[in-house]
Amino acid sequence: MELWTSPLWYVSYILVLIGLSGYGFHRLTIVYLYLKHSRKMPQPLKKFEELPLVTVQLPVFNELHVVDRLLDSVAKLDYPKDKLQIQMLDDSTDETTEICRAGVERLKAQGFDAELIHRTDRTGYKAGALEHGTEFAKGEYLFILDADFVPNPDVLQRTIHYFSDDKIGMIQTRWGHLNRTFNVLTRVQAMFLDGHLELEQTARNRSGRFFTFNGTAGIWRKSCIADAGGWEHDTLTEDMDLSYRAQLKGWRFIFLKEVETPAELPVDMDGFKSQQHRWTKGSIQVCKKVLPAIWKSKAPLYVKMEATAHLTSNFAYLMLICLCFLIYPNQHAAPDFGGWTYYIVNVPIFFFASVSVILFYLTSQKALRPKTWWKEIPYLPLLLALGIGMSINNAKAVLEAVFNHETGFVRTPKYGIDQKRKSDWKKSSYKAMKTLTPVVELLFGFFFLFVVVEAALNHRWASAILLLPFPVGFFYTSVSSLLRMLPSGGSAEDAIEPPNQDS
């Protein structure tokens, strides 16, 4: 029997698709839970008669382009100055430290209780900075903001009163996007994040499941952090780790999708890849760390099952890579079922593995933009392609976590870009780390181009169309990174920049 015609290829192909379909089915359950529970906006138990002291923690590492914008926005918070403490938690090794020092002095001159806490080492990275800063925090409530965020002035007034319930440990606001329409990449990223923040976080929180702090734009009760064991830095996603530990201790969290805190999205592919690598690897590290405790807890079975699906979801990238190696052999090994049998086998798998993703992101856009959601439809094919193209980068992160390969906390470069201000970011000294991943992605792109062309030449038009996102995705992620290595620093994103208007 020839190698390519072995039925083992087809069986393996179907098993991988069934695995991906399982995570697709999970997306559909999230959509169902969102539609069922999203209108249940939580209300504060009561309002504080006297506003409590809040410590605003601003962890920073080499963020010279955005620090001033961050401090300006914090100075505009609609909250009594005598009830605010501002901590600039700076681990920088460049001129960012001097910008922070000057900014803190400006705040002091305006009457704020502000201080610069500069560490000369990055022990624990962001988690270490937060842990160190919390030792000097005067407030019982800690409002954490990453350097690229620009909080709205009323954010504390709209959130702090939920802590009148002593059982509430953390309140998370929904991220907005300052530069959503800067280029195609930011447009697609915004859709990815909208799906997570609008659908997943809302569905999990308001249906009684576990949900997690997103690392920024949220407020913690200091005693909750201490009770959960404090900030730990044995994973790259300290926010997810602490969230699960706190909820396992019995603390309740609130997600307020109605309160938006805008932030800047990475504008180049390398920055996006480094961010996704860190998030993906960290989530698997947390999975290994807390999943046994979740199953030993007294949480209901449906809560444990959803947490398992959430924590293991990034293993889908390994399945996607396996699928890449199985697609071509399957073109030659798939048995001829004949009649309706082919559709009975393949249509349900295709629905749960692919169509569910489209429904998931369309639902999030319709929820956030009820009048203009249809304008996002043209970006859906690229969203699917980008998800495929990122599979090598993210599968690498999964394997590093599984095999305990240690890597540092790599920050995502931000350039102070929003819809009103567009800095010349290509001239910045901040660059994401370079790897061989784009070369591997390029090879995958050429391989799948061959697969698509062969399918078309053999008149398998359905296969050619369904497989088209594979070469598009791999070429997009690889060429975007490779172009950034050129002296001009160009990018594929700039070549297809959409109109600069937020729709």
Phi, psi of 262 (to 5 degrees): -70, 155
| CA–CA distance, 372 with 181 (Å, rounded to integer) | 14
At residue 496, the pLDDT reads 47
CA distances from 222 to 128, 219, 405 (A): 15, 9, 32
pLDDT tens for the chain, residues 1 to 503: 455 556 788 888 888 888 988 999 999 999 999 999 999 999 999 999 999 999 999 999 999 999 999 999 999 999 999 999 999 999 999 999 999 999 999 999 999 999 999 998 889 999 999 999 999 999 999 999 999 999 999 999 999 999 999 999 999 999 999 999 999 999 999 999 999 999 999 999 999 999 999 999 999 999 999 999 999 999 999 999 999 999 999 999 999 999 999 999 999 999 999 999 999 999 999 999 999 999 999 999 999 999 999 999 999 999 999 989 988 887 776 666 565 555 555 666 677 778 888 999 999 999 999 999 999 999 999 999 999 999 999 999 999 999 998 877 777 777 787 655 555 656 565 665 567 899 999 999 999 999 999 989 988 888 888 889 999 999 999 999 998 776 655 555 554 444 444 44
Sorted by where each begins, the domain ranges of the chain are 52-266
Position of tokens 């690392």?
A: 215
In terms of Cβ atoms closer than 10 Å to its own Cβ (0-12, 13-18, 19+), residue 312 is middle
Contact (CB, 8 A) for 112 and 79: no
Spatial neighbors of 254 by CB under 8 A, at least 6 apart, are 42, 162, 168, 170, 171, 172, 205
Contact (CB, 8 A) for 96 and 66: no
| Residue 91 designated active-site | yes
- The candidate with the shortest Cα–Cα distance to 198, out of 183, 182, 214, is 214
At residue 336, the pLDDT reads 65
At residue 330, the pLDDT reads 76
At residue 420, the pLDDT reads 57
CA distances from 294 to 209, 247, 304 (A): 12, 10, 6
| Residue 424 designated active-site | no
Which position among 239, 241, 268, 270 bears the catalytic label? 239
At residue 501, the pLDDT reads 42
At residue 78, the pLDDT reads 97
* Strand bridging mode 252-263 / 84-90: unpaired
| CA–CA distance, 74 with 337 (Å, rounded to integer) | 64
Which position among 91, 146, 148, 418 bears the catalytic label? 91
- The candidate with the shortest Cα–Cα distance to 235, out of 407, 413, 435, is 407
Choose which CATH entry (3.40.50.300, 3.30.460.80, 3.40.50.2000, 3.90.550.10) describes domain 52-266.
3.90.550.10
At residue 410, the pLDDT reads 73
Spatial neighbors of 341 by CB under 8 A, at least 6 apart, are none
* Strand bridging mode 113-118 / 168-177: unpaired
Phi, psi of 140 (to 5 degrees): -80, -15
Radius of gyration of the chain (CA): 23
Find how far residue 396's CA is from the centre of its chain.
17
- The candidate with the shortest Cα–Cα distance to 272, out of 79, 369, 410, 472, is 410
In terms of Cβ atoms closer than 10 Å to its own Cβ (0-12, 13-18, 19+), residue 359 is middle
- In this structure, what token pair is assigned to residue 23? 């995570």
